[in-house]
Chains A and B, each alone.
Chain A
Amino acid sequence: MWKKAYEWLDERLGLNAMYTNLLDRPEPRGNWWNTLGSASLFLFIIQGLTGIFLTVYYTPSPDHAYDSVQYIMNGVAFGWLIRGIHHWGASLMVIVVFIHLLRVFFTASFKYPRELTWLIGIGLLITTLGMGFTGYLLPWHQMAFWATTVGTQIAGTVPFVGEFILKALRGGPELSALTLQRFFAAHIWMLPAVLAGLIGVHLFLIIKHGESHYPSQDE
């Protein structure tokens, strides 16, 4: 029965082909450094899941942001665990993505035909950093407040358009409820959407080109 159902689905969805192409594709001899992209993907998924759970209690308003985070830590069952994973996962993700970049650089895997994979990777790194920057403000404690003050001030030093960038980031000349709200929107909607899209293209290109391998002696 199950076999028949599976065959019916496979005929229409191409499940077997998907399995072969996604999970059973040939890989060159590699080592643990080649797993860091998958590790980045795993962390992205974990951050997404724990992040969704955090929004169940978190409130992006200056009046309640801090208290709602305290409530998650002390009031909700396993709130400390969900927030802990999201908190440490954020730093870990930046590190893992960056080491993944270094691996690609040192194995010269960014060369033809993988230049686009590399460029999209740069986009992924920048977006990941953006996630860290926007997420850091959300607890709305002293450290978050001043870190964002400084971060947006630095963005404001760009010649000519600096002031505009600063105001656009803060939603006004000073940090306010608008800053918190737009950082929240960026952190949970915009940047994750960008990340998901870029990851999709990144993975498509990896499957299309196959993974790079070290040249053999006679190449």
Chain B
Amino acid sequence: MSGSFGRRDFIKAATAIVGGVIGVALGVPAIAYLIDPALRASAKEGWVPILKVEDAPVGKLVPFSFTRVQVNGWERTSTNFGGYVLRKSEDPNDMLILNSRCTHLGCTVNWKEDAQAFLCPCHDAKFGRDGEVLDGPPPKPLERFSEFRVSADGLIEIFFKAG
């Protein structure tokens, strides 16, 4: 029987082919199923009101925070974001809005008056008034919300992007 394709060879080949087809037919959907949440768009972008202009005196760092709610699967998850507004002059458009998310690994930094710096509780990072790195591991300055506007009724609004 050598050389010819016998009954046993046929069964082996059939098993391999059927097994392969089932494996692919189940394996590909299984992978899609697993990575599905990673392929979804995250929180919608949009304008978010953060502070009244009158509550932010010129030259003073004023903290703000806001919450975004998103539907994740079967649940609504709210995530907190925060930052500081620093008005540079009387011109309402002359201001700096910093994100308090540390650029190292994402902890929240706090302004410390006596140190005159933003301190990160996680790995001792230090950022200056304009968000520049003074000390520690962060690779870049604090992020700025550079798209902002002041609404007719005196609210500072920032354009929030996902991520």
Instruction: Give the B-binding residues of A (Cβ under 8 A).
Output: 49, 53, 56-57, 59, 64, 67-68, 70-71, 75-79, 81-82, 85
Residues of chain A contacted by B122 (CB below 8 angstroms): none
Residues of chain A contacted by B30 (CB below 8 angstroms): 49, 53, 78, 82
A49 to B73, CA, bound (A): 22
Query: What are 20 A-B contacts with C-beta separation under 8 Å?
Result: A49-B26, A53-B30, A53-B33, A53-B34, A64-B74, A64-B75, A67-B75, A68-B73, A68-B74, A70-B74, A71-B74, A75-B74, A76-B33, A76-B36, A76-B37, A77-B33, A77-B36, A78-B29, A78-B32, A78-B33
| Top 5 closest pairs, chain A to chain B, by CB | A67-B74, A78-B29, A77-B32, A77-B36, A71-B74
A47 to B26, CA, bound (A): 12
Taking a contact as CB atoms under 8 Å apart, the answer to whether A59 and B74 are in contact is yes
Residues of chain B contacted by A71 (CB below 8 angstroms): 73-74
Taking a contact as CB atoms under 8 Å apart, the answer to whether A75 and B73 are in contact is yes
Taking a contact as CB atoms under 8 Å apart, the answer to whether B32 and A57 are in contact is no
Q: B27 — nearest CB in chain A belongs to which residue?
A: A49
Residues of chain A contacted by B34 (CB below 8 angstroms): 53, 56
Taking a contact as CB atoms under 8 Å apart, the answer to whether B73 and A82 are in contact is no
**Contact residue among A56, A57, A68, A82 (Cβ-Cβ distance under 8 Å from B29):** A82
Residues of chain B contacted by A64 (CB below 8 angstroms): 74-75
Please give the distance in Å from A32's CB to the nearest CB on chain B: 14
Q: A52 — nearest CB in chain B belongs to which residue?
A: B30
List B residues 115-135 near A (Cβ within 8 Å): none
Q: A57 — nearest CB in chain B belongs to which residue?
A: B73
Please give the distance in Å from A12's CB to the nearest CB on chain B: 25
Residues of chain B contacted by A82 (CB below 8 angstroms): 29-30, 33
Residues of chain B contacted by A53 (CB below 8 angstroms): 30, 33-34
Q: A70 — nearest CB in chain B belongs to which residue?
A: B74
**A-B contacts besides A76-B36, A78-B32, A85-B26, 13 pairs, CB < 8 Å:** A49-B30, A53-B33, A56-B34, A67-B75, A68-B73, A71-B74, A75-B73, A75-B74, A78-B29, A78-B30, A78-B33, A81-B33, A82-B30
Please give the distance in Å from A139's CB to the nearest CB on chain B: 13
Q: Could you say which of B30, B37, B73, B75 has the most chain A C-beta atoms within 10 Å of its C-beta?
A: B73
Residues of chain A contacted by B73 (CB below 8 angstroms): 57, 68, 71, 75
**Contact residue among A59, A70, A79 (Cβ-Cβ distance under 8 Å from B33):** A79
Residues of chain B contacted by A77 (CB below 8 angstroms): 29, 32-33, 36, 39
